[in-house]
Amino acid sequence: MTSDKHMLCGPCMFDDVTKDAGRWCTNCEEGLCTDCENVHRKGKTTRNHKVISTEDYHKIENVSISQICEQHGENLEWFCKSHDEVLCVVCVPSKHKACSDVIPISLNTANSRQSSALSDLEETIKGNLRNVKQCITNRESATKEIEKQELAVKTMVLETRTKINSQLDKLQEKLLNELKSAFLTCKSKYMKILQKLKSTEKMLTKLREETKHMKAFSSDIQVFLGTRQVNKRIVSEVKSIKSEIGAAKDYALKVYIDSLIEKLSNDVEEFGKIMVSESATNLDFRDPKFDQAQIWINISDIKLQLIKTFQMTNEHKKNVTGCLILPNGNLLMANDKEKNHLKEYSTSGEYIRDIPISGQPYDIAVIDLERIAVTYGDASCLEIMNKNTFNVEKKISLQNRCWGVSHADGKLYVAHGDSVQVLNLSGQNLKTIKTVSNYIRRICASRDRIVYSDWENKVHCCNLNGEELWQFENDSIEFPRGVKADNYNNVYVVGYGSNNLTIIRHDGKDSKTLLTKSDGLKFPNALDFDKNTNTLLINNQGENITLFKVVLNFSQLP
C-alpha cells in the first residue's frame, strides 16, 4: 500500500509486478487485484478467507489487532475457557497444561460478532465515551466558572479601591477643615496681640515727639506737670501691654495620622491576598457496567462455572478469615489462629509458600497492582505491603480492634464492630462511619457504598455517610460471613451456618442461591471476587478452596 487511497496487490508485488488492488484479505492482510482475488477464492486454504473492499479496509486499518503472542512470537491459535485467555502453541503446555477446556480459537470465534463480550465492549466504549464527554462538559463549565470568579475578584478589588479612595478623600477633607479652623484660631490670637503692640508702639512714638517738643517749647510749670502726666500714661500703657504679653501663647500646628492610615501606608504590604481553595470535583467517571446494571443484568441469569477445587494442606484448614485473588492470579489465605504468616497457593492448588508477617492476620484486600492491606484484629493495626516482596510499606496503628478491610478510590475502609473507619493510604483518619449494626466483621466498599455482614443474619448496604440504603435478611442465610460486590454492585455472600452462597441484587430487593451444601460448600467463611476476571474465590473451612467463573447473561430486566 503506497497511500491511503492507493493500494498495491500483494501477490503481484511478489512477482515484481505493480498492480492496483481493489480488495483486501483480512486473513492474509494484503491487497488483491481482480485476478488474484479470483485465484484467492478458488484456493482450498483461502476460499473461506474474509475479503473486503479497500474502502472498508481504510475504515479498520488503524485498528490495532495482533494475532501474535507477545511472549512467544507464535500465532494465537488456542483459547482457554477457564482463564478466558488466548494462547499460542507454546503457552498451552507451559501455563495451561492442566486446563481441560483449551480449544482451538476457531471454535470460539464463529459467533464472536454476536457475543456478549463484544456487546459488553461496545457498551463499555459507549459508556466511557459518555463519561469523557460529561467530564469535558464539566471542565468546560469549571473553566467558565473560574473566569467568572476572576472577573468578580477583579471587580471587588477595583470597587474596594474606589471605596478606599472615597473614604480617604472624605477623611482628608475633614482633617484639612480641622487644620484650617485651628490655623485661623491661632492666627486670630496672634493678630489680636500684634494689633495691641502696634497700637502701643504708635502711642509711645507720639509721646516721644510730644515730650521732645514739650521740653523745647513749654514753660517750666508745663514741663513739670506734663512730665508727670505722660509718665503716668506710659506706666498705665506698659502695665496693660505687659498683661497682654503675659497672657500671650505660641502655637504649633502638627498632625496625628490615625494608626490605621499609618499602617496602610507603611506596614500594609498587600492590598489583599488571592486564595485558591481546592475541593473534590463532582466529576464522576462511572463504570459503564454499573450504569447498565439495572438495564442489562438480571441476577436470575447469573451462572457459576467451576474452574478449580483443591484441598488445603491439613495444617492450614481451620479458621481462615480472609482470602484474596492477587493480581497475578495466585491466592492468599489469612488465618487468625496462625501467627506471623499468610499462605499462598497457585490457581492449580499447589501450595507455594508461607509469607512472614508481623502478627495474626484477620483480613486482606488488594489496593492496586503493587500493594495489599492486612488487618491484625486484636492488635488494632493494619499494614500496607508490597504484593511482590511483601515488605511492609506502611504500618497504621488504630484505636480499636480491626476486622474486615476493603479498598476503594484510594481509601481504606476498616470494620471495627459497630463502625467503619475511613483512612487514606498515609494512615490519616478521614472519618468514622457509625453503622446500624454492632457486630460487623466483613466489609466491601465501592466508590459510593459500603456493604457489610453482621452476626444477626443480616447484610447491610449504606452510603459513604452511613445512611442505610437497604438491609437484607433471609431465613436461607445463617451467619453471613464474607461479602463481596461485582461490577454491578450485586452482592455475593456466604452463609457459614447455612452452607450456601447467595447473590443479592444491587438494590437489596431480590436474591438467588447460587451454591448449597450439595455443591460442596461446608462452613464457608471467606470469599473474594476479582472484578477484572469475574472470578469468585470461596474458602470452605476445613474442606477446600474453590474457584468459579461468574458467567453473566446480558438481558433486559422486566
Grid coordinates representing 478 are: 445463617
Residues 365-419: tens digit of each pLDDT: 999 888 999 999 989 999 999 988 889 999 999 989 999 999 998 899 999 988 9
Given a cut of 60, is residue 275 above it in pLDDT? yes
The predicted pLDDT at position 448 comes to 87
Taken in order 89, 90, 93, 95, is the CA torsion positive or negative?
Answer: negative
Residues 6+ apart with CB under 8 A from 313: 351
493 close to 480: Cβ distance less than 8 angstroms? yes
* Mean local confidence (pLDDT), 309-322: 74
Residue 208 CA, chain-centre distance (Å), reads: 104
Given a cut of 80, is residue 336 above it in pLDDT? no
Coil, strand, or helix at residue 336?
Answer: coil
Residue 279 banded pLDDT, cuts 50, 70, 90: low
Quote the CA–CA distance of 491 and 501 in Å, as a whole number.
10
Residues 6+ apart with CB under 8 A from 335: 316, 318, 319, 320, 321, 343, 360, 361
Residue 6 banded pLDDT, cuts 50, 70, 90: confident
Quote the CA–CA distance of 259 and 265 in Å, as a whole number.
10
Quote the CA–CA distance of 211 and 226 in Å, as a whole number.
8
Q: Model's pTM, two decimal places? A: 0.53
* Mean local confidence (pLDDT), 254-268: 86
The predicted pLDDT at position 64 comes to 64
Given a cut of 50, is residue 2 above it in pLDDT? no
Q: What is the DSSP letter of 267?
A: I
Q: How far apart are the first and last CA of the chain?
A: 52
Given a cut of 60, is residue 355 above it in pLDDT? yes
341 close to 348: Cβ distance less than 8 angstroms? no
Residues 6+ apart with CB under 8 A from 331: 323, 324, 325, 344, 345, 346, 347, 537, 545
488 close to 506: Cβ distance less than 8 angstroms? yes
539 close to 516: Cβ distance less than 8 angstroms? no
The residues with which 529 forms a beta bridge, in sequence order, are: 536
Quote the CA–CA distance of 80 and 65 in Å, as a whole number.
19
Residues 357-369: tens digit of each pLDDT: 999 999 999 998 8
Given a cut of 50, is residue 557 above it in pLDDT? no
Quote the CA–CA distance of 545 and 537 in Å, as a whole number.
7
Burial per residue of 291-308, b for 16 or more beta-carbon CB atoms within 10 angstroms, e otherwise: bbbeebbbbeebebeebb
More confidently predicted of 268 and 337: 268
More confidently predicted of 38 and 61: 38
The predicted pLDDT at position 392 comes to 93
Quote the CA–CA distance of 494 and 24 in Å, as a whole number.
54
Given a cut of 60, is residue 289 above it in pLDDT? no
- In terms of CATH architecture, what is 1-65? 2-Layer Sandwich (3.30)
Burial of 328 (0-12, 13-18, 19+ CB in 10 A): exposed
449 close to 463: Cβ distance less than 8 angstroms? yes
- Fold observed for domain 288-551: Neuraminidase (2.120.10)
447 close to 466: Cβ distance less than 8 angstroms? no
* Mean local confidence (pLDDT), 502-520: 92
Average pLDDT, the chain: 86
Name the helix (H) or strand (E) containing 288. helix 288-291
Length of the chain: 558
pLDDT cut 90: percent of the chain above it: 46
Tally: H helices and E strands in the chain: 9, 30
Q: How far is CA 110 from CA 106, 115, 554, in A?
A: 7, 9, 19
445 close to 408: Cβ distance less than 8 angstroms? yes
Residues 53-93: tens digit of each pLDDT: 988 888 877 776 778 898 888 888 888 877 778 899 999 98
Quote the CA–CA distance of 81 and 103 in Å, as a whole number.
8
The predicted pLDDT at position 291 comes to 52
Quote the CA–CA distance of 458 and 474 in Å, as a whole number.
8
Quote the CA–CA distance of 154 and 41 in Å, as a whole number.
74
Contacts of the segment 113-117: beta carbons below 8 A, 24+ positions apart = 116/552, 116/553, 116/554
Q: Which of 373, 338, 345 is nearest to 359 (CA)?
A: 338
Given a cut of 90, is residue 493 above it in pLDDT? yes
Residues 440-485: tens digit of each pLDDT: 889 999 988 999 998 888 999 999 989 999 999 988 899 999 999 9
Given a cut of 60, is residue 295 above it in pLDDT? no
* Mean local confidence (pLDDT), 493-513: 93
262 close to 171: Cβ distance less than 8 angstroms? no
Residue 423 banded pLDDT, cuts 50, 70, 90: very high
Please give the backbone phi and psi of residue 161, each rounded to the nearest 5 degrees, phi first. Answer: -60, -45
Residues 160-212: tens digit of each pLDDT: 999 999 999 999 999 999 999 999 999 999 999 999 999 999 999 999 999 99
189 close to 249: Cβ distance less than 8 angstroms? yes
Given a cut of 80, is residue 533 above it in pLDDT? yes
Q: What is the DSSP letter of 417?
A: B
Given a cut of 60, is residue 3 above it in pLDDT? no
| DSSP states along 50-108 | -EEEHHHHHHHTT-----B-TTT--BEEEEETTTTEEEETTHHHHH-TT-S-EEEGGGG
The predicted pLDDT at position 187 comes to 94
The predicted pLDDT at position 332 comes to 92
pLDDT cut 70: percent of the chain above it: 90
Given a cut of 70, is residue 542 above it in pLDDT? no
Residue 368 CA, chain-centre distance (Å), reads: 15
